Amino acid sequence: MAMAGKIRNLNDLAKQVGCTATAVSMALHDSPQLSVELREKIKKTAKENDFVPRSYNRRTVRVKKRYSHLGPLLLLHNDFFNELNPARDYTMPYAFQLLNQYGVEYAYLDISEVRKNPELFREFAGVLYYNDQEIELPPEMPAMQIFGWTSPGPCQDRITVDDVRIAELGVQFFLNAGVRRVAMVWREDMIRDFYEHPRVKVLERELNARGVPVTSILFERQDTDFLDRLQSYIRHGDPSIGFFAFNAASGLKLCSALDIMRLMPEYAPEKLLVCDNDSILQNFWPRFHIIDLDFPALTRRAVDGLLWRLENPGAPGAVTYQCPRLIAPKQESYHKKERNSCR
């Protein structure tokens, strides 16, 4: 058991000195963003108490020495009605793992906190966030954005998926399926300027040019008539229909509705395409085609890119596009389901 008053971690040292854990981390990394007086006070207190930051296992020592002088980093999130959000839920936890492996200090804050107190940015060396958020970053602040499509600042970068390629995969999928019309499902309050989004614009333009009309079926968070509108679309018009769900949330809404109507076998797997390989979609049957965005690779490139930016602050900002891939459902899962359904 630790002795009373013994300093065991950054928080204990921060309490002893009377500052934040972030300030302690910055001082131990010789950050010039702190005053010399505060840096020396923190270092002196650490030395007097024989405090050394936690060491890391041998397997990652080389990497940690490479990056441990960088930081602290600010990771921003937006809870968005406290709902599931793949852009957050499949990037931020993996970013935590990578930064822990690299030995880089970081803080995880809600965007509302920096809106209230923009001075918080001054405590950090760089920012990692996802999607287009209603915040104004300091123009000189090194930053990496995952997704989004507004123009980044001069020393800020973005890693995103190639939405034009997603649209091309979708066009080829529906042409191969031989459908004669396509419904595109999306949630209105999740996507800014939806009809200008390249994933939407290119898919609609290319299918229309080939004689396959595209109809958008939108819904809201508290939508009450989506099922009725979907039924109306299916009943009125050519029965040869393909469905494209813009993202996981849209896919969940669409598949739930088709499942309620017992129409999943009518459209999956050959006429139903969801743009996101999310676990919330795994329990629907029959399985359907998905476009995998590869969140782990996206996150690793974002974290590594931000660390590179901190070491190369004068390089111009860049946007990197990651290529998506179309994944067909495994056929054996259908055979197993069919066998289990036999009486």
Let me know if the fold of 58-161+297-323 is the same as that of 163-293+327-341. Answer: yes
For residue 80, what pLDDT is reported? 61
Which has more confidence, 276 or 335? 276
For residue 207, what pLDDT is reported? 98
Which has more confidence, 156 or 5? 156
For residue 235, what pLDDT is reported? 97
Counting residues of the chain whose pLDDT is more than 70, the rounded percentage is: 86
For residue 221, what pLDDT is reported? 84
Q: How confident is the model at residue 165 (pLDDT cuts 50, 70, 90)?
A: very high
For residue 85, what pLDDT is reported? 78
In contact, 84 and 280? CB cutoff 8 Å: yes
How far, in Å, CA of 38 to CA of 31, rounded? 11
pLDDT of 65 above 90: no
Q: How confident is the model at residue 82 (pLDDT cuts 50, 70, 90)?
A: low
pLDDT of 341 above 90: no
Q: Which residue has the tokens 């957050």?
A: 88
Give tens-digit pLDDT for 116-163.
Answer: 999 999 999 999 999 988 888 998 899 999 998 777 878 899 999 999
What CATH class does 163-293+327-341 carry?
alpha beta
Q: How far is CA 17 from CA 41, 133, 179, 264, in A?
A: 8, 35, 68, 62
Q: Which of 324, 335, 334 is nearest to 173 (CA)?
A: 324
Pick the CATH number of 58-161+297-323 from 2.60.120.10, 3.30.2000.10, 3.40.50.150, 3.40.50.2300: 3.40.50.2300
Mean pLDDT of 296-301: 96
Q: Is 339 exposed, middle or buried (0-12, 13-18, 19+ CB in 10 A)?
A: exposed
Q: Which of 309, 313, 305, 254 is nearest to 284 (CA)?
A: 254
Other CB atoms within a 10 A radius of the CB of residue 71 amount to 25
Torsions phi, psi for 70 (to 5 deg): -90, 160
pLDDT of 297 above 90: yes
Residues forming beta bridges with residue 177, ordered by sequence position: none
- Token pair, residue 163, equals 């939405």
The residue ranges of DSSP E strands in the chain, in sequence order, are 73-77, 106-110, 126-130, 143-146, 156-161, 181-187, 214-219, 241-245, 272-274, 289-292, 319-322, 325-327
* Domain boundaries along the sequence of the chain: 10-48, 58-161+297-323, 163-293+327-341
Mean pLDDT of 260-271: 97
For residue 30, what pLDDT is reported? 63
pLDDT of 36 above 80: no
In contact, 73 and 104? CB cutoff 8 Å: yes
For residue 38, what pLDDT is reported? 80
Q: Is 324 exposed, middle or buried (0-12, 13-18, 19+ CB in 10 A)?
A: buried
Which has more confidence, 98 or 81? 98
pTM above 0.85, yes or no: no
For residue 81, what pLDDT is reported? 56
